[in-house]
Amino acid sequence: MMKSSDHRRPTVLLGTAACLLLAAGCTSSSGPAQRAGDSGTVRTALVRTMRALVPEGSLAQKQENSPAHDGPMSAASFTLTRNGAVGDLRISVSRLPSPVPPQFSGCPDSALNPYSKCVTRKRREAVLISDEQPLDGASPSAGRRLTAVLTTADGRQLVLSESTVGAGAGTATTRDRTPLPLTLRQLTGMADSEKWRPVLASLPDVPAPAAPSVDQSLPADRITAIIERSLPSGLDVAHAGGQPGFGHLTVDDGLGACLVAVTVQHWKPDDADIAALFAKARTTPDGTRVLTSRTPSAKGGSGAVEWRVDTLSRNGVRVLVSEVNARAYHLPGTRTTPALDIDRLTRIARDGTWQEAFRSPSSAR
């Protein structure tokens, strides 16, 4: 068993983009206090602009625990009552490193957000996203969240979200059909307003990110290409996706689709944390450490089971292959056996192409 296999594991499976798109209070590292011109703090400008853009209704600002301004990221929350409907509104602006990685400005990953209904629109030097999905993937009828995200080419990002008030409390019934004060179209129109431009322009630059201690830069398309080459014939393969360091696809042998996901990382061979993680692993003749497990899916779903093979080579390349008996995380399991057995998952994890990909990225194409 590898109960601790997620120790020190980067949150690549959750995805930073998902954090931004869900707008559920994700934070950013603070910088020096930043003023939005003569209008006061960035948050003051956020509140004033929100009040100017919201259609008729009662907009009540919520108390915030964070400082009134926090450098490259600022946010404000409200309760909106309109046309007999009540919803929670949240607005945040932040400055991301440039160039902006695709996962920061794209729709939520389908493997992690199976209920997402997302549309991407191009704007001049910006990308606009409209997304609708449940507040909780494990209880899709408990409430809704609508999200609009505007991301400029130089890394200025605005996230505007609206969600069901009190969703998740008590018995989940038909909250998903409870009207929200604003439609997704209205919310998206607000996020696309020119009135936000001065607020976004006031955000300070962010320093270049420090070099990561763990290399997980292998592109998703290279990861899924390696997976496909390792699959037996006769499978229906679809829904490839992911982000750097994480790739996934579905395989169907005629008995139901399974999600196959691979996380690839390159650790320093002498890193103490990764050594501790694999301390109880079996070691193959070539020095590769291997952990295997079969557990209920950590991301929920009635009857969902996850099979895992986690490997670490002597030079620090870690390949974690997992399979879920559903087409995506959070969904109920649709079969009792995996489309790929543990031996096949092990063969994928131990494919020498992973080593070649880090030595020469172009070779994984």
- Hey, what's the torsion of the CAs at 338, 14, 189, 43, to 10 degrees? 160
What pLDDT score was predicted for residue 177?
64
CB-CB contact of 103 with 96 (8 Å): no
What pLDDT score was predicted for residue 242?
93
Angle subtended at Cα 43 by Cα 40 and Cα 47, rounded to the nearest 5 degrees? 100
198-210 pLDDT, tens digit per residue, is: 999 999 887 777 7
Going by C-alpha positions, the residue among 176, 183, 181, 323 that lies closest to residue 257 is 323
- Report the C-alpha gap between 187 and 130 in whole angstroms: 9
Amino acid at 94: S
Domain boundaries, the chain: 11-201, 220-364
What pLDDT score was predicted for residue 240?
95
Residues of the chain predicted below pLDDT 50: 1-40, 67-70, 168-175, 361-365
Going by C-alpha positions, the residue among 284, 336, 286, 334 that lies closest to residue 309 is 284
* CATH number for the domain whose boundaries are 220-364: 3.40.1000
What pLDDT score was predicted for residue 360?
62
What pLDDT score was predicted for residue 233?
94
Q: Which tokens belong to 333?
A: 């399991």
CB-CB contact of 147 with 105 (8 Å): no
Could you check whether the bond before residue 99 is cis, i.e. omega within 30 degrees of 0? yes
